[in-house]
Every structure is written in C-alpha cells, then in structure tokens.
Amino acid sequence: MSGSDAWTTIESDPGVFTELIEEMGVQGVQVEELYALDEELLMSLRPVYGLIFLFKWRQETDNRPTLNPEDTLGHIFFAQQVIPNACATQAILAILLNAGIKLGSTLSELKDFTSAFPPDLKGMAIGNSEQIRRVHNSFSPPQPIVPDEAKLAEKDDEVYHFISYIPIAGSLYELDGLKPGPIKLCDLDAKDEWLLKAAPHIQSRIERYAQSEIRFNLMAVIQNRKQVYSQQLAKLQQSSQSGEVHQPMDTDLAGGAASPADADSEMGRLMELIQQEDDKFRQWHEENVRRKHNYIPFVFNFLKLLAEKGRLQPLIDQAAASKPASFSHQEK
C-alpha cells in the first residue's frame, strides 16, 4: 500500500488544514474548528468561504436529488472522491475551487485543466496530482515509519467522510464526493446570510448523528483572521489620526467606535485578537514541525542513553507488567 503514489492519512486538525492550504499555494485563508453550531460565532468568523462537516461514515439512505454535473460545468467544481485517504484535502479543494478566491498556480492549473471533466475524472486528476499529494502526505510521519495503512485500519476500521457546504452564484450547495453531483439546498437572496441558511441543514445532521453517537467535527474555511483584524485596525488608526468622526463598521464589531475613547479600546481589542492569532499560528506551526519530523532516531538514541546510564530497566519492567495495548490511531 505504501507506494510512491499512495496518499497517507492525515489528522483532521485546523492547524494541519491551514498549513496544507498555504502549501498548496493559497494565501490568506485559514481553517477554524467549531465545537458547536453557534450562529453568533459563525457570523463573527466572516468572511466564511465554506463549511466542512466531517463524521464517521456509514450507510445512509438519502433520496435528495443531485444536480447533473454536466449542467453545472464551469459554474461548480464538483469532483468525486476517488481516493479514500485524500478525502479531507478533497473537501477543502471543493471549497477553495468554488470560493472565487485567488488560488495560486497549482490549484489554478488544476481547475483550468479539469474544467470540462466529469466528476470522476476530476477526482482522478486530484488523485494524480503529485504536487497536491506531496503536500498532503507531508503531514504524516516521514518514511520509513509509515506502516501499511491497511493494518492500522483494521484496528480502527472506521472511515471518515467529509461534506462541504458552500454558496455559489446565488445558491447554497452541499458537495459530497460520494454522490453523483452537487445538491442544491436553497436559493440565496442578496440580503441572505448563507451561514444562517446552512445552519439548519448542518444542525439536523448533528442531531441525527448524535442519536447514534456518531462523532463529528465542523470546520470553517475563512479568511485569515489576522488579515481581517489588521485591516480593521488600520482603518481605525487612520480615521482616529485624521480626527474624522468615525463611522460604525458594518462588521462583527460590537457597535462602532464613535468616540476617541471607544476607538482606543477597540484598537486595544483588535491588537489583542491579533496577538491571539499570532500565538495560535505559532502553536500550529510547532505541531506541524513535530508531525513532519521523524522521531525514531531521537527515540532510539534516547533509549540507548538510558541504557548506558542504567536507567532503562524500570521502563522494561513497566512494559513487561502492563497489559496489552489497544493502539489508538490518531485520526479524528
């Protein structure tokens, strides 16, 4: 299974996805995990390009009609999920390639090259993309300790499935790579907030799965928050310097700054948020460095050092006494 063209499993973690997106050449996008379907929280994260709902998959009856992909060629990028281990990346691509944002060369080329393909060929093109596969696989431990994936799958033989929710050209869609085509959920008026229209659909899934105790995650693909806050901060600094009467911002800020004192506290709040984003990205980067580093030489040399210092025996005794493990495969 571990051939040079295999896709490995990666963690479903916002830090992984954020760096994955960046390494595929897309700037200014990040992924946040949502632990509840909180409409206020969703609104505060705007602009949201799309939502990804992931859950442990099992057979379900779903008789909702799907659009004929031929009818939507050129408007909706819809690819079928061809490679199981790539499903996270495919769900992310489903959003990036439909969001109307600047894509960078790798993804722009992919989108153009496959624009006339049917969904299965689009899926295969993604699977065959060496660049995307290389970036995806980089988030798994490096060779030679990538085991036969089939063996790990035995122990935790549940498959995760990813569904993307995204507004495209005035309608809300559900994109599921295991279906033959996109599912249109509803039309969106100019004044509609698509997040609020998507929430009930996601909520009913959550309720359905919660009853069967199926675990799930919800992620939002959004504009880089530090960028958003920095822009807001810059505006505030500009207008307070020029002494203008400040306009309330039509964003998620609670009220608009209407006086110098308010402007100051608002700027303070934004700077704190920016600091939090910096801390979060630093933490994410640390974790990704660890994910990509092969620690076997470290472990071996550490154990060797302990043996030389006569400190290994207690660990051996402990290993001999403990009951057999159930290995946990770290995949959400």
Contacting positions for another protein (CB under 8 A) = 141, 144-148, 151-152, 155, 286-287, 289-313, 315-316, 318-330
Asked whether the CA dihedral 275, 277, 283, 288 is positive or negative, the reply is negative
Q: Report phi then psi at 175, rounded to 5.
A: -110, 115
Q: Which of 65, 135, 103 is nearest to 114 (CA)?
A: 103
Are 151 and 326 a contacting pair, CB within 8 Å? no
In angstroms, what is the minimal distance from the CB of 159 to another protein? 17
DSSP secondary structure code for residue 36 in this structure: S
R_g of the chain computed on alpha carbons: 23
In angstroms, what is the minimal distance from the CB of 58 to another protein? 16
By beta-carbon proximity to another protein, the closer residue of 254 and 319 is 319
Token look-up 């359905």 returns 208
Distance separating alpha carbons of residues 170 and 32, to the nearest angstrom: 24
> How many C-beta atoms lie closer than 10 Å to residue 307's C-beta?
13
By beta-carbon proximity to another protein, the closer residue of 147 and 170 is 147
Q: Angle, to 10 degrees, between the axis of helix 260-292 and the axis of helix 225-242? A: 160
Q: Report phi then psi at 56, rounded to 5.
A: -75, 125
In angstroms, what is the minimal distance from the CB of 146 to another protein? 7
Catalytic residue among 136, 161, 201, 246: 161
Is 87 designated active site?
yes
By beta-carbon proximity to another protein, the closer residue of 156 and 264 is 156
Q: List alpha helices for 156-259, DSSP H.
A: 194-211, 225-242
By beta-carbon proximity to another protein, the closer residue of 153 and 188 is 153
Catalytic residue among 87, 136, 201, 246: 87
In angstroms, what is the minimal distance from the CB of 287 to another protein? 6
Length of the chain: 332
In angstroms, what is the minimal distance from the CB of 135 to another protein? 18
By beta-carbon proximity to another protein, the closer residue of 169 and 315 is 315
Is 161 designated active site?
yes
Distance separating alpha carbons of residues 192 and 199, to the nearest angstrom: 13
Distance separating alpha carbons of residues 266 and 270, to the nearest angstrom: 6
Q: Report phi then psi at 219, rounded to 5.
A: -125, 145
In angstroms, what is the minimal distance from the CB of 320 to another protein? 6
Query: Residues with catalytic annotation?
Result: 87, 161
